Amino acid sequence: MSLLLGQPPKLCVRKPVFVRSSPNDFSSSSLQQTPPCIIIGAKECGADLGKLAFAYANNRGEPIVSDKKVPLDLVYNYLSEMKTIGSSHGWVATMNDDGIMHLQDDLNPFASHTAPKRIPLPPFVTLPNCKARFVTNVAMSSSSPEDEDCVVAVKFHGPQLSFYRPAQNNSEWINIKIADRCFYRSEVIFSKKDDMFCINGIGSHVIGSWDLREHKHTPKLQKLRYQKSPELTETEREILLSCKCDMSTHLVESRSTGETFLVKWYKKELGNFDDVIPDMQTKALMVFKIDEQGDAVYTKDIGDLCIFLSNSEPFCVPASSFPGLCPNTVHLFSFQEIGIVNLAECFNTDLVFRCGFSAPYYIPPQKID
The CATH number of the domain holding residue 173 is 2.130.10.10
Give the DSSP letter of residue 275. S
Sign of CA dihedral 206, 211, 214, 215: positive
Residue 74's pLDDT is 87
- How distant, in Å, are the alpha carbons of 114, 147, 262 from that of 301? 43, 35, 13
Structural domains counted in the chain: 1
Length of the chain: 369
pTM (two decimals): 0.90
Straight-line distance from the first to the last Cα atom of the chain, in angstroms, rounded to the nearest whole number: 31
CB half-sphere exposure, 163, CA atoms < 13 A: 21
357 within a domain of the structure (yes/no): no
Is the Cβ–Cβ distance between 288 and 281 less than 8 Å? no
Closest CA to 313 of 86, 101, 122, 102: 86
Instruction: Find, among 110, 102, 145, 144, the residue nearest to 39 by Cα.
Output: 110
Asked if the structure places residue 26 within a domain, the reply is no
Assess if residue 165 is contained within a domain.
Answer: yes
User: Looking at residue 321, what is its pLDDT?
Assistant: 94
**Is residue 127 in some structural domain?**
yes
**How much is the pLDDT for 61?**
64
Burial (0-12, 13-18, 19+ Cβ within 10 Å), 191: middle
In a domain, 128, yes or no: yes
In a domain, 63, yes or no: no
CA dihedral angle for residue 13, residue 317, residue 256, residue 117, rounded to 10 degrees: -50
Question: What is the block-wise mean pLDDT of the chain (369 residues), using blocks of 10 residues?
Answer: 36 39 36 88 88 89 86 76 86 87 94 91 87 88 95 94 91 90 93 94 87 77 87 93 88 95 92 68 95 93 97 96 95 93 96 88 89
Tell me, what's the pLDDT at 82? 67
In a domain, 186, yes or no: yes
User: By residue range, what is the domain housing residue 101?
Assistant: 81-223
Whether 348 is covered by a domain: the verdict is no
Could you give the CA distance from residue 92 to residue 348 in angstroms, rounded to a whole number? 31
Q: Residue 236 is inside which H or E element, if any?
A: helix 234-242
Number of H helices, E strands in the chain: 2, 29
CB neighbours (10 Å) of residue 110? Answer: 20
